[in-house]
Amino acid sequence: MMIETIHLKRCDLLTVKGRFDSNTSPDLEKALRASMDAGVYRIVLDMEGVEFFGSAAIRVLIATYKECRRWNRGDVLLARVPERIQRVFDIAGIAPLVKMYDDPVVAVGSF
């Protein structure tokens, strides 16, 4: 599991790779919380290297989404989501909530 945060002018770009389950989801939560604590509520997650995204990670994603969207402060966008992870989002019912992009540059540019 690897998380790299790049601070851009418009948003934070988090590149995430590996497996996100109940053991590693707290690390994802810390990285997302660090952005929000710094006042950044526009977040792009580049998920190209994600192999597994479990229910604990989905909970972290939804909580972050809600906090970023509160009072129209920002949003959480997903980029390069693997097809198997997209199916997980469909099954969990969160696919309609989050915008997904094929390219992180396009996602960042949408802010």
Q: Structural domain tally of the chain?
A: 1
Confidence (pLDDT) at 71: 87
What is the domain range of residue 18? 2-109
Confidence (pLDDT) at 34: 98
Q: How many CA within 13 A on the CB side of residue 9?
A: 3
Confidence (pLDDT) at 41: 97
Which pTM value belongs to this model? 0.93
Angle at 110 between CA 45 and CA 77, to 5 degrees: 25
Confidence (pLDDT) at 12: 98
pLDDT over 90 (residue 4) = yes
Residue 47: which CATH number?
A: 3.30.750.24
pLDDT tens, residue by residue, 33-79: 999 999 999 999 999 999 999 999 999 999 999 999 998 899 999 99
| Share above pLDDT 70 across residues of the chain, in percent, rounded to a whole number | 100
